[in-house]
Homo-oligomer: A and B are copies of this chain.
Amino acid sequence: MSGSEIEQLVQLLAKLPGLGPRSARRAALHLLKRRENLLEPLARAIAAAAEKVRACSVCGNLDTRDPCLVCVDPRRDAETICVVENVADLWAIERTASFRGRYHVLGGVLSALDGIGPDDLNVAGLVRRIGEGGIREVILAMGATVDGQTTAHYVTDRLQGAGVTISRLAHGVPVGGELDYLDDGTLTAALKARRPF
């Protein structure tokens, strides 16, 4: 492959999650073949994102304004904060359109293996927001993993005595899921949390 510009493009594309060296080459070729429809618009989109997108100083969401649109929207319930691991999870919940409160992005989960401790997460920001008053409920929406649940317990400890209701997402059978394919942990959790029909 000749042309250091192409080489450079391939190497940077290969750093994206989901693209390896081979698929990065395919992506680079795809871009170079579609100069006007894809390469130039993508260059503009990336430059615009680099220039304008910032982390919200209140909740940690990514947006072109600070505070972000979720934090300033008066139609949203300011009394409920959903605590998520990262912005991807925030987007996932937004896509369901079933939550109308606000968010707090921790920026990760506690992980002894990855060396992520309490100081690496934005828990202090959450404590401060709740200290300012006006929050009624905190929903812990961490993943149902060991690290996610450890983090949920840690956040709960830090919020003791803050006078807010703390809840977590329900664990159970995923919608559309067949029992036969479920792991024992999920099935046990679903049984324990059974509800009247």
A191 to chain B, nearest CB (A): 31
A68 contacts across to B, CB distance below 8 A:
2-3
A63 contacts across to B, CB distance below 8 A:
2-3, 6
A84 contacts across to B, CB distance below 8 A:
none
With A13-B42, A27-B16, A30-B16 as contacts: A48 and B2 at CB distance below 8 Å: no
Q: Which of B3, B43, B48, B69 contacts A53 (CB 8 A)?
A: B3
Majority secondary structure of chain A interface residues (helix, strand, loop or mixed):
helix
User: Does chain B have a CB within 8 A of A26?
Assistant: yes
User: Does chain B have a CB within 8 A of A39?
Assistant: yes
A65 contacts across to B, CB distance below 8 A:
3
Which of A1, A31, A46 counts the most chain B CB atoms within 10 A? A46
Stretch of A17-25, A122-130, A180-188 at the chain-chain interface: A17-25
Identify the 3 closest CB pairs spanning chains A and B, nearest first.
Answer: A2-B69, A18-B23, A43-B46
